[in-house]
């Protein structure tokens, strides 16, 4: 009895519903089209970066001059710092919320134990009342 290693005997072209080679050319065409689009985008990105760099160099413009004065840059920095502070406060609130949820999960076990004890007490009380009044005990509906 011989065992065939699937690594050396791939079943890629042995699909039951497709004849061998019928869909392979279709997928190759799509794959080539995707790669052509990717290459075109990369060339366009490279050309725009090349044009932008040399046009800035030609007019002797520095990147810092594009954004205006230093005061505007400082204002943007302060706004970014404020937004970061707000995000830090928000995530700090999540930590306290996580602690509260953990505490509630700890209470869940206590509540379940109290429910079991109360149910046992109610069943025992119902049986005792049924015994003293000679009425049939009710079956639990839970």
Domain count of the fold of the chain: 1
43 inside domain: yes
Bigger pLDDT: 40 vs 12: 40
**Residue 115 lies inside a defined structural domain of this protein:** no
Q: pLDDT of 88-106, one tens digit each?
A: 887 776 777 778 888 888 7
Residue 86 lies in a domain: no
Mean pLDDT for 57-75 is 73
pLDDT of residue 25: 56
In a domain, 34, yes or no: yes
Question: Domain limits at 28?
Answer: 24-62
The CA–CA distances, whole Å, from 4 to 12, 14, 104 equal 15, 15, 56
- Residue 42 within a domain: yes
Place of tokens 């050396």: 8
In a domain, residue 29? The reply is yes
Does 89 fall in a domain?
no
Q: Does 30 map to a domain?
A: yes
pLDDT at 60 over 90: no
State the pTM of this model: 0.30
């Amino acid at each position: 009895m011989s065992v065939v290693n699937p690594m050396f005997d791939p079943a890629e072209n042995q699909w039951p519903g497709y004849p061998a080679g019928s869909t392979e050319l279709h997928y190759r065409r799509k794959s080539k089209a995707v790669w052509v689009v990717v290459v075109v985008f990369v060339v366009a990105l490279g050309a725009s970066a090349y044009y932008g760099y040399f046009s800035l160099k030609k007019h002797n413009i520095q990147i810092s001059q594009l954004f205006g004065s230093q005061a505007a840059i400082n204002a943007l920095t302060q706004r970014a710092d404020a937004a970061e502070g707000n995000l830090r406060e928000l995530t700090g609130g999540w930590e306290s919320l996580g602690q509260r949820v953990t505490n509630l999960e700890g209470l869940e076990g206590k509540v379940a134990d109290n429910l079991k004890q109360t149910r046992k007490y109610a069943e025992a009380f119902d049986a005792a009342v049924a015994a003293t009044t000679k009425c049939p005990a009710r079956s639990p509906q839970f």
